[in-house]
Every structure is written in structure tokens, then in C-alpha cells.
């Protein structure tokens, strides 16, 4: 079988063929089967037999990963905008509203939004300089401690591995909104096949699917905001001006300060997935150009999609609404968005909103396969996971990771068993605090990177993209993540309106001991040490090394822009 390799020069300055595609001659089936063969640039990691962790080799391995670089700017922007618009906003906000009230909802989501703004800017700065496989877990290994990088990598991979079956079941549950007579197992099969098929198309398939999913979610949120304003002003079928009536009766707060803390934790979970834009940097054609724009989109997501839509939800739905208590995290009947539309007397739109919720659930399931497979591949490249996970095929897919993630999705069939509630509760417990650890580690890695960058004689002018809140923002983001852990500990140990229960506590806080076991276990096994600032590797993995003159020209060009254009590009 004759192979015709085609090489392309990365616009970001990388002369290595980043996306070599071997095009075998033959029929359609032959081409499909051949695509699973090893990538021309794939270099299997060899066992060294060395008992110590080799940080230098790990940095080189993730920098030379042959993952496909086919994501474009539009893909990254939609991943950034729609990455965290999911059931946390559409359904989870209902439980948050019931627990804390409309004022607590806004306060908590605004604080978490501010935290995420700091986190993604820190991630953006690191990802533009080092668009390497594994992203944030690799940054923990490089700038903090290899043992912590190991813990963060497996923590993140486990999060997405258990999220996939949960989201597949959630998608099947959304069908119950229409009282479907079809067995739930049938819908689980359909959604599983759809998600797996999308990811088998490679990173381009993931990018295109997320582009469409995110576009649907964005249109839905904007449409709801417009509709909500009309309903609030008395323009719905039932008429009647609502205004701030529900803020006075039943009130703005449901459970005082403890209610705010409970919503604080829920809000943190709602934003899970925001960091995926950094993970995708390694598979982006030109991260220096695409990533900054995508990172800045977070400002609009926080402001427009979360704060404004939740303000309207708090105006239209009282926290005493009984329907806010759903059967699951994807029960559309418990969505405050659906309840607000139903209360207004509109007949067709609730079903449309349920379709949007189903799309949001599938989007998260799609991201779970992507996130877990890429993280497992990066861990294997660094020698922190079985070598087989590092295998990259001709299409640039970490196919072993995709297969393992897909097999985990089959756990969704537990939904038709008698033990489904217990099984899913503990699966959710494993993934519950994963994002908090990830975000905190990103902030800490950025702080340590800046320290090493300065100590080794570099200036901030050498950075193609600088975090707008800077190191102060990373300290703020790190502190807020610690605050979430404290708030979660309090609300898990003493739940609102309930007595302390060991089962309730561990179902909310299980991720903490799991992470600590990973960290100290690896540290005792390999005796890793904290990476010193003066010893940090600030070269390996950088696609562009000598761009000072290019950056100076770009800054001079931006300085000549009119004020309106500079303001626009500051935010976008």
C-alpha cells in the first residue's frame, strides 16, 4: 500500500510537520482501517528502568506529540464561549436558586466568574508560550512538582472518564420530558454511538461538533434573555408586570450566608469545562493568534450568558417554586429556564428549551471523551501512565484514550439497574472537586512561571500574550479556589436543613483524599522535588522562540489604532 505524506508549515513558526496526513491508496474501507496505523511522527516511549522521574524527557515528549493541529480560530472561540454553558446553567442554576435565593445566585456566580476570568487568562498566557500536549497538568509537572502534575493529570482524566456515562444518562433523561415510551437503554445506546462517532473523526470532528453545539446554546441564551425581559415587563400571554416582585416575596436570600456558600459551590461546578480551551492549544494551527481572542471571550460569557440570564431567572422564578427540585442534574422539568417560560403561558418554547438542554448535555459528553483521551496521552508521554495511551494514529488521534473513554461511557447502562443512584452518586463524587484543583493549579503554575521567567532574565515584552489581571489575578484566582474548597467542606459536613452524615460528606468531598493519595503516593515512589525557578525549562515546547522583533512591530501597529479599536481588542 503506497503512502503519500503531505507536510505543512505551521503558521506559528513550527517547522516540524505537525499534521502529516498519510493518504493510502485503495477503497474507502482500506483508508479507514489504515487511519488507525501509527502516525509518521509517533515515537513510542521506551522504558528506561530508571527509578527517578526524568523531567527533561517528559518536557520533550509532550512538546513533540504528533497530535493533529487542525483546530481553527472559530473552533477555539466557540469552545471558549460555549465550553461551560451546559446543564450547570440551564438546570443546576435551579437548585442554586432554591438553596440560596436570587441575590445569592448573582453574588456567587459573579465571584466564580471573576475567579474564572483570572484562571483562563493565566492559562492563556501559559498556553500561548507552551502549546503542549496535556496543557495544565503538564504545567504542574514543569513549574510545580512532577508528583503534583501526576495527581492533577489523573484527577482531570478521571473527572472526564466518569462524566461521560453521567452525561449520556442525563441526555436520556431529557427525553422523559416528552414522556417517551422508548426504553431508556435505547436512548443511552443512541447517544453513546453519536458521541463516540464524533470523536472518531478526530480533533476536527470535535471542533466542528462543539462549534455547532455552542452556537445552538449561545442562540438559546440570547433568545431567553430577550424573551425574559419581555415576560418580566408583562409582554407574555398571561400578561402582568413582574419586576422585582419575587425579590420581595419570598425574598432575595433563602438561607442567609450559608445559602450563598452553597450556591458558591454549585456555581463553581457550573463553569467546569472552561479550561478545555487551553487543552486544545496543542491541536491548534496558530495558538499565538487564535488563543488570545478565545481567552478574552470569557468576559462576554461571564457577563452576558451567566450574569444577565441568571438575573432574569431570579426575577421570573421564586426560590420557593416546588418544581426546582428535579430527579437529576439534567431534569429539564426542574430547569428555571423552562419553568419561567411555562409560567408565562407559552406552549411550544419549553420543548425547544429542552432540546437545547439535551444539546448541552451531549456537548459535555463530547468534551469528556476529548478531555480524558488527550490528558491520558500526555500522561503517557511523560511516563506517568501506561505507554499504550501515548499511541497516536495517522489521523492524529490518541485512539487508545478514545477507546478507553468510550468504554467508560458504557457505564451509562447502570441507569437501568436497581443500584443506579448509588453508582452515579459515587461516580459524581470522584469528579466533584476536580475542576477546583485544576483551576487552582493553573493559577499557581502561572505564578511560578512568572517567577522563573523573571529570574532567568526574560522580560514580559517577550510574551505574545500577557494575562490581563497578571500575577495578582492568579493569586486572587488561587485564593478563591481555596475558598470554594472551604465552603464545600462546610456545606458538605453540615448540609442546609440536615444533620451531618458521613455518606453526604464523602459524596461531596471524596475528590480531596483521592488527589492526596495520588500526590503522596507518587512522591514517595519517585522522590520528586519541587521545581526551582532558576531550573525551570523555559525553552522546550515553545513553537516560536525568536519573535521579539515581530511582537514589537505588532505592538507599534496596535498603538496606532483608534481608541475604539484598542478598547474592542482589549476585551475581544
Residue 210, domain CATH: 1.20.1740.10
Handedness of CA 22, 26, 28, 33 (dihedral sign): negative
Q: Give the residue from 68, 67, 45, 69 showing the smallest Cα distance to 58.
A: 45
Q: Are 326 and 87 a contacting pair, CB within 8 Å?
A: no
Q: Are 282 and 131 a contacting pair, CB within 8 Å?
A: yes
pLDDT at 20: 47
Q: Are 201 and 397 a contacting pair, CB within 8 Å?
A: no
Strands, E assignment, 122-210:
none
Separation CA 364–CA 83 (nearest Å): 8
Q: How many domains does the chain have?
A: 1
Domain encompassing residue 10: 5-21+56-571
pLDDT at 8: 39
With a CB cutoff of 8 Å and minimum separation 6, the contacts of 509 are 429, 432, 433, 488, 489, 492
Instruction: Give domain status of residue 61, yes or no.
Output: yes
Instruction: Give domain status of residue 347, yes or no.
Output: yes
Residues facing residue 393 across a β-bridge:
38
Separation CA 240–CA 160 (nearest Å): 45
Rg of the chain over Cα atoms, rounded to whole angstroms, equals: 24
Separation CA 119–CA 407 (nearest Å): 32
Separation CA 416–CA 399 (nearest Å): 29
Instruction: Give domain status of residue 475, yes or no.
Output: yes
H or E segment to which residue 21 belongs: strand 21-22
* Cell numbers 478563591: residue: 480
Q: Give the residue from 188, 505, 231 showing the smallest Cα distance to 346.
A: 231
Q: Give the residue from 151, 146, 41 showing the smallest Cα distance to 537.
A: 146
pLDDT in tens, the chain (572 residues): 334 443 333 434 444 444 445 455 566 677 777 777 777 777 776 655 555 677 778 778 777 777 777 778 788 877 777 666 777 788 888 888 988 899 999 998 888 888 988 999 999 999 888 888 778 888 999 999 999 999 999 999 998 898 888 888 888 878 877 887 888 889 889 999 999 999 988 888 888 888 898 889 889 889 999 999 999 998 888 878 888 899 998 988 888 888 888 888 778 778 888 888 888 877 787 888 888 888 877 777 777 788 899 999 999 999 998 888 755 555 667 789 889 998 888 888 888 888 888 888 888 888 889 889 989 988 998 889 898 998 988 888 899 999 999 999 998 888 777 766 666 667 777 777 888 999 999 999 999 999 999 999 988 888 888 999 999 999 999 999 999 888 888 888 888 777 777 777 877 788 888 899 999 999 999 888 899 999 898 888 876 655 655 666 666 667 777 777 667 666 66
H or E segment to which residue 120 belongs: helix 102-129
Separation CA 383–CA 45 (nearest Å): 8
With a CB cutoff of 8 Å and minimum separation 6, the contacts of 501 are 495
Instruction: Give domain status of residue 127, yes or no.
Output: yes
Instruction: Give domain status of residue 30, yes or no.
Output: no
pTM of the model: 0.87
Amino acid at each position: 500500500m503506497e503512502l503519500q505524506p503531505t507536510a505543512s508549515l505551521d503558521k506559528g513558526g513550527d517547522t516540524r510537520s505537525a499534521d502529516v496526513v498519510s493518504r493510502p491508496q485503495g477503497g474507502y474501507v482500506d483508508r479507514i482501517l489504515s487511519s488507525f496505523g501509527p502516525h509518521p511522527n509517533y515515537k513510542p516511549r521506551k522504558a528506561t528502568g530508571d527509578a527517578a522521574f526524568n523531567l527533561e524527557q517528559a518536557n520533550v515528549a509532550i512538546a513533540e506529540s504528533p497530535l493533529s493541529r487542525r483546530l481553527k480560530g472559530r473552533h477555539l472561540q466557540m469552545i471558549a464561549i460555549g465550553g461551560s454553558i451546559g446543564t450547570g446553567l440551564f438546570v443546576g442554576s435551579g437548585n442554586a436558586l432554591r438553596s440560596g435565593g436570587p441575590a445569592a445566585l448573582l453574588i456567587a456566580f459573579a465571584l466564580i466568574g471573576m475567579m474564572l476570568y483570572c484562571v483562563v487568562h493565566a492559562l492563556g498566557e501559559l498556553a500561548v508560550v507552551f502549546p503542549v500536549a496535556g496543557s495544565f497538568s503538564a504545567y504542574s509537572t514543569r513549574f510545580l512538582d512532577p508528583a503534583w502534575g501526576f495527581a492533577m493529570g489523573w484527577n482531570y482524566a478521571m473527572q472526564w472518564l466518569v462524566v461521560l456515562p453521567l452525561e449520556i444518562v442525563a441526555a436520556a433523561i431529557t427525553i422523559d420530558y416528552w414522556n417517551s415510551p422508548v426504553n431508556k437503554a435505547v436512548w443511552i445506546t443512541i447517544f453513546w454511538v453519536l458521541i463516540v462517532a464524533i470523536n472518531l473523526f478526530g480533533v476536527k470532528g470535535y471542533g466542528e461538533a462543539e462549534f455547532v453545539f455552542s452556537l445552538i446554546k449561545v442562540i438559546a441564551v440570547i433568545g431567553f434573555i430577550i424573551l425574559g425581559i419581555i415576560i418580566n415587563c408583562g409582554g407574555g400571554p398571561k400578561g402582568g408586570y413582574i419586576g422585582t416582585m419575587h425579590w420581595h416575596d419570598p425574598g432575595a436570600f433563602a438561607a442567609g450566608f450559608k445559602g450563598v456558600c452553597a450556591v458558591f459551590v454549585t456555581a463553581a461546578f457550573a463553569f467546569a469545562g472552561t479550561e478545555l480551551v487551553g487543552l486544545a492549544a496543542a491541536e491548534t494551527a496558530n495558538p499565538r493568534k487564535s488563543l488570545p481572542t478565545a481567552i478574552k471571550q470569557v468576559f462576554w460569557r461571564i457577563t452576558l450568558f451567566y450574569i444577565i440570564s441568571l438575573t432574569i431567572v431570579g426575577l421570573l422564578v421564586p426560590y420557593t417554586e416546588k418544581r426546582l427540585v428535579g430527579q437529576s442534574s439534567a431534569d429539564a422539568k426542574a430547569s428555571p429556564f423552562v419553568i419561567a417560560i411555562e409560567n408565562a403561558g407559552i406552549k411550544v418554547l419549553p420543548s425547544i428549551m429542552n432540546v437545547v438542554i439535551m444539546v448541552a448535555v451531549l456537548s459535555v459528553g463530547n468534551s469528556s471523551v476529548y478531555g480524558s483521551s488527550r490528558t491520558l496521552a500526555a500522561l503517557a508521554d511523560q511516563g506517568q501512565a501506561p505507554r499504550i495511551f501515548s499511541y497516536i494514529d495517522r489521523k492524529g488521534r490518541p485512539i487508545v484514550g478514545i477507546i478507553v473513554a468510550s468504554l467508560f461511557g458504557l457505564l451509562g447502562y447502570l441507569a437501568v439497574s436497581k443500584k443506579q443512584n448509588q453508582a452515579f452518586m459515587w461516580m459524581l463524587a470522584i469528579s466533584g472537586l476536580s475542576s477546583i484543583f485544576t483551576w487552582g493549579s493553573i493559577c499557581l503554575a502561572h505564578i511560578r512561571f512568572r517567577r522563573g521567567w523573571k529570574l532567568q532574565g526574560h522580560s514580559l515584552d517577550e510574551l505574545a500574550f500577557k494575562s490581563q489581571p497578571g500575577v495578582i489575578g492568579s493569586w486572587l484566582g488561587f485564593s478563591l479556589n481555596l475558598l470554594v474548597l472551604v465552603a464545600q467542606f462546610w456545606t458538605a459536613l453540615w448540609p442546609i436543613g440536615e444533620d451531618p452524615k458521613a455518606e453526604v460528606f464523602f459524596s461531596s468531598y471524596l475528590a480531596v483524599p483521592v488527589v492526596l493519595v495520588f500526590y503522596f503516593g507518587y512522591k514517595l515512589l519517585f522522590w520528586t522535588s519541587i521545581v526551582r525557578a532558576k531550573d525551570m525549562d523555559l525553552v522546550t515546547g515553545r513553537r516560536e522562540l525568536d519573535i521579539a522583533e515581530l511582537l514589537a512591530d505588532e505592538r507599534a501597529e496596535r498603538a496606532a489604532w483608534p481608541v475604539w479599536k484598542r478598547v474592542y481588542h482589549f476585551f475581544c
